[in-house]
Structure 1
Amino acid sequence: MAVTQQLARVSAEYLAACRTRAEESSDGFHQWDPPEADCLDLDWAPALLERACEIAGVSEVHLAALGQATEGGVAMDVRFLNAHPHAIGPFGPAPAALEPLAVRQVSGLLGEIDVQAVLAVLPLDVREAGTLIGHGAEGLVDGPRTYLMGHFEALRGFYAEASQRGFAVVSWWD
Structure 2
Amino acid sequence: MAITRQLARVSAEFLASCRQSAGASPDGDPRWDPPSADVLDLDWAPFPLQRVCELGGLDDIHRKAVQQALDGDTVIDLAFLDTHPHAISPFGPDPTALSAARVARVAELLGQIDFPALLAALPTDEAEAASLIGNGADKIVGGPKKYLLGHFNAMREFYRGASRRRLLVVLWWD
- Counterpart of 2:160, as a letter, is A
Are positions 1:33 and 2:33 aligned together?
yes
1:132-161 CA-to-partner distances (Å, cap 9, x unmatched) read 000000111111110110000000000000
**Following TM superposition, by how much is the alpha carbon of 1:61 offset from its aligned partner in structure 2, in angstroms?**
1.1
> 1 CA distance for matches of 2:149 and 2:17?
35
> 1 CA distance for matches of 2:79 and 2:151?
27
- Counterpart of 1:7, as a letter, is L
SS in 2 for 1:40: strand
**Following TM superposition, by how much is the alpha carbon of 1:77 offset from its aligned partner in structure 2, in angstroms?**
1.1
SS in 1 for 2:128: helix
> 1 CA distance for matches of 2:52 and 2:144?
9
- Counterpart of 2:95, as a letter, is P
Q: How does 1:51-70 map to 2 (within 5 A)?
A: 51-70=51-70
SS in 2 for 1:37: helix
> 2 CA distance for matches of 1:41 and 1:68?
16
SS in 2 for 1:149: helix
Query: Could you say which residue in structure 1 is the equivalent of 2:142?
Result: 142
Normalised to the residue count of structure 2, the TM-score between the two structures is: 0.98
- Counterpart of 2:48, as a letter, is L
Q: Which blocks of at least 5 consecutive residues in structure 1 are unaligned?
A: none
**Following TM superposition, by how much is the alpha carbon of 1:25 offset from its aligned partner in structure 2, in angstroms?**
1.2
Kindly report structure 1 stretches of 4+ aligned residues shifted beyond 6 Å.
none
> 2 CA distance for matches of 1:86 and 1:51?
33
Normalised to the residue count of structure 1, the TM-score between the two structures is: 0.98
> 2 CA distance for matches of 1:79 and 1:58?
33
**Following TM superposition, by how much is the alpha carbon of 1:84 offset from its aligned partner in structure 2, in angstroms?**
1.0
Q: Which blocks of at least 5 consecutive residues in structure 2 are unaligned?
A: none
> 2 CA distance for matches of 1:119 and 1:38?
27
> 2 CA distance for matches of 1:84 and 1:160?
32
Query: Could you say which residue in structure 2 is the equivalent of 1:99?
Result: 99
> 1 CA distance for matches of 2:159 and 2:145?
21
Count how many residue pairs are aligned between Structure 1 and Structure 2: 174
Query: Could you say which residue in structure 2 is the equivalent of 1:168?
Result: 168
SS in 2 for 1:113: coil
Query: Could you say which residue in structure 2 is the equivalent of 1:73?
Result: 73
**Following TM superposition, by how much is the alpha carbon of 1:78 offset from its aligned partner in structure 2, in angstroms?**
1.0
SS in 2 for 1:27: coil
> 2 CA distance for matches of 1:164 and 1:142?
33
SS in 1 for 2:169: strand
Q: Percent identity?
A: 56
**Following TM superposition, by how much is the alpha carbon of 1:74 offset from its aligned partner in structure 2, in angstroms?**
1.5
> 2 CA distance for matches of 1:117 and 1:68?
21
**Following TM superposition, by how much is the alpha carbon of 1:130 offset from its aligned partner in structure 2, in angstroms?**
0.3
